[in-house]
A = this chain, B = another copy of it.
Amino acid sequence: MGEDLNYLFNPGSIAVIGATAREGSVGGVITRNLLTKFRGRVYLVNPSYTELLGHRVYRSVLEISGDVDLAVIVTPAPTMPKIMSECVTKGVKAAIIISGGFSEVGEEGAKLEREVKEASQGRVRILGPNCIGVYNAFNGLDTFFIPQGRMERPKPGPIALISQSGAVAAAILDWAARKGIGVGLAVNYGNKLDIGEIELLEALAGDDNVKVIVMYMEGLKYPGEGRRLLETLRRVTRVKPLVVYKAGRSRSSGRAVKSHTAALAGNYEIYRALFRQAGAVEVNNLMDALEVAKALATQPLPRGNRVLIITDSGGAGVQAVDNVESLGLVVPELPQELRSALSKSLPPFASTANPIDLTGSATDAMYKFVLDTVLPTSHVDMALVLAQMQLPGMTPKLADYIIEARRFGKPIVVYGISANEDAKAFKARLEDGDVPTYDRLETAANALRALYEYAIVRGLARPG
């Protein structure tokens, strides 16, 4: 990670400028969050107080004797140029300006924004203004100003999120937390006065905590950024997978983008081509982005596009084939000798062609037998396991067999729509064992497609 942006995500010390204890206010939420969660030094700054929540309050950053790596600023826009000058004097390395009231509100705000930039003299790197800032689950840096009761925080994990929208980031982090998806880092860059998506991509590409980057974007702001974005994405995808959701795809939504982030949504087809050229995996919403990222963070890359499907429900098997094949993967009929081998140990009415339909007689042991028999062969490149935990022969023990099957070095994902006690235990055990689980077939299929697509990008598989 470039040193400047390292201070943005991993500061040793933070000054909260505009610190307050006011319940429910933006500054109040941030002050409390940082005081209670951040694993580093936190200084409170506000000329109106001398003490807050039992902590000393400084009149300005200049009063602080220790080093300040990062300033988190929540004071009103007009105060910002002076505060920025003080940050420069103090030697602050980076600043997150949460406050709005800048270019997003018109010409006067834009003027203020330029003054802040000048005041920073290029010596303080700036995230924002008008942003929700940074969430770092590893060190407790959290400037998301929505209280915990309204927004749960995800556990540490290998996924990082770059979002052009703060509210969208807050909503999806809350969802990820409830789904148990580990999103270790998230960042929103607001008006992009200084740091934008391109530098953030570079920083996260070099961060060892991050295995997959998810990006939400609505459009670029400045001419010529497209080329830089393409080059950056290319560099990133050579190192780690990148999943992107681009909103603002129609004329009307382009209008909405302009009023939302002052960006140009541009022609969606051009963006699609750019992502394809860059080797990024595209999805159609952020939930799918994180679900797909879960697979990219845990599964080996497949050498081809052939999917083994095992099911305890013939109907779910049919639907799985539809979903998988509509995305360009294939469900090959297994060769006769392999089918004969399977038939010998499966119930007489099980279907062995692929999908392997174990029918209502399905047991954990049958799944294990199929995985152990078919996965090591050269006939399939990955597996989609469907299991509902509704049948009498099924138990959470199946999770262990699936986790053991990881030894064959092929991606495995699991689909189940049930949520009974056994289904919950089954899925929890799988997730702990780094096997992603899904409650929608489309999403499971999407995850396999993403693995295959990225395998092509990395030269491990050939286009089908």
B417-A172 in contact (CB<8A) = yes
A247-B389 in contact (CB<8A) = no
A104-B349 in contact (CB<8A) = yes
Interface pick from A33-41, A71-79, A145-153, A195-203: A145-153
Point out the residues of chain B lying under 8 angstroms from A165, CB to CB: 313-315
Point out the residues of chain B lying under 8 angstroms from A317, CB to CB: 256, 260
If A164-B315, A247-B315, A420-B151 touch, whether A322 touches B174 (CB-CB below 8 Å) is no
How many copies are assembled?
2
Which partner residue on chain B sits nearest A146 by CB separation?
Answer: B390
The 3 A-B pairs of least Cβ separation, nearest first, read: A165-B315, A260-B314, A167-B313
B167-A312 in contact (CB<8A) = yes
Which partner residue on chain B sits nearest A319 by CB separation?
Answer: B247
Point out the residues of chain B lying under 8 angstroms from A287, CB to CB: 417, 440
The one of B105, B313, B325, B392 that contacts A250, using a Cβ cutoff of 8 Å: B325
**Pairs across A and B, CB under 8 Å, 22 listed:** A24-B392, A100-B360, A146-B391, A150-B420, A165-B314, A168-B315, A171-B313, A171-B316, A171-B390, A171-B417, A174-B420, A175-B418, A178-B419, A249-B326, A250-B322, A250-B326, A252-B325, A256-B314, A256-B355, A259-B353, A285-B441, A287-B417
A21 at the interface (CB under 8 A from B): no
A331 at the interface (CB under 8 A from B): yes
Cα distance A274–B216 when bound, in Å?
Answer: 39
Contacts A249-B325, A284-B442, A285-B441 supplied; 7 other A-B pairs, CB < 8 Å: A100-B360, A105-B348, A150-B422, A151-B390, A174-B419, A252-B332, A256-B355
A24, A252, A422 pick with most chain B CB within 10 angstroms = A252
1/0 per residue A359-379: CB within 8 Å of B? 010000000000000000000
Point out the residues of chain B lying under 8 angstroms from A20, CB to CB: none
A170 at the interface (CB under 8 A from B): yes
A362 vs chain B, min Cβ distance (A): 10
If A287-B440, A318-B260, A349-B105 touch, whether A313 touches B252 (CB-CB below 8 Å) is no
A161 at the interface (CB under 8 A from B): no
Point out the residues of chain B lying under 8 angstroms from A4, CB to CB: none
1/0 per residue A294-327: CB within 8 Å of B? 0000000000000000001111111101100110
A249, A285, A319 pick with most chain B CB within 10 angstroms = A319
Point out the residues of chain B lying under 8 angstroms from A248, CB to CB: 318, 322
Point out the residues of chain B lying under 8 angstroms from A353, CB to CB: 255-256, 259
Cα distance A377–B321 when bound, in Å?
Answer: 46
A180 vs chain B, min Cβ distance (A): 13
Point out the residues of chain B lying under 8 angstroms from A442, CB to CB: 284-285
Cα distance A421–B252 when bound, in Å?
Answer: 33
A183 vs chain B, min Cβ distance (A): 15
Residues of A within 8 A of B (CB): 24, 100, 104-105, 146, 149-152, 163-165, 167-168, 170-172, 174-175, 178, 216, 218, 247-250, 252-253, 255-257, 259-261, 265, 284-285, 287, 312-319, 321-322, 325-326, 330-333, 348-349, 351, 353-355, 357, 360, 388-392, 417-422, 440-442
B441-A149 in contact (CB<8A) = no
Point out the residues of chain B lying under 8 angstroms from A163, CB to CB: 315
Cα distance A322–B251 when bound, in Å?
Answer: 9
Cα distance A366–B414 when bound, in Å?
Answer: 44
Cα distance A454–B261 when bound, in Å?
Answer: 36
Point out the residues of chain B lying under 8 angstroms from A216, CB to CB: 315
The one of B172, B351, B360 that contacts A167, using a Cβ cutoff of 8 Å: B360
Cα distance A321–B104 when bound, in Å?
Answer: 21
Point out the residues of chain B lying under 8 angstroms from A172, CB to CB: 417
A316-B168 in contact (CB<8A) = yes
The one of B314, B325, B388, B419 that contacts A259, using a Cβ cutoff of 8 Å: B314
Cα distance A349–B262 when bound, in Å?
Answer: 12
B357-A259 in contact (CB<8A) = yes
The one of B170, B318, B417 that contacts A256, using a Cβ cutoff of 8 Å: B318
The one of B170, B178, B261, B325 that contacts A253, using a Cβ cutoff of 8 Å: B325
Cα distance A285–B314 when bound, in Å?
Answer: 15
